[in-house]
């Protein structure tokens, strides 16, 4: 599960950078940042829950 979250974080970061670099794709930057933040929060809460159960 941790590998999937890291992969998604990298994918959202790449999309955000592409959105920032390519003119007219500012929406891609916003979507990438929102998805990056949501994935990071999900991963953080999942990691804390798993650590407390072990």
CA distance 45 to 53: 13
pLDDT of residue 25: 87
4-50 pLDDT, tens digit per residue, is 999 999 999 999 999 999 888 889 999 999 999 999 999 999 877 76
What ranges in the chain are assigned the alpha helix state H?
A: 2-21, 26-53
Torsion sign, CA atoms 28, 34, 40, 42: negative
Domain boundaries, the chain: 2-46
Q: What is the pLDDT of residue 46?
A: 87
CA dist., res. 50 & res. 34, Å (int): 24
pLDDT recorded at residue 42: 94
């Amino acid at each position: 599960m941790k590998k999937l979250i890291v992969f998604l974080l990298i994918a959202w970061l790449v999309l955000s950078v592409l959105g920032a670099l390519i003119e007219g794709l500012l929406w891609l930057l916003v979507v990438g940042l929102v998805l990056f933040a949501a994935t990071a929060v999900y991963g953080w809460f999942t990691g804390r829950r798993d650590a407390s159960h072990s």
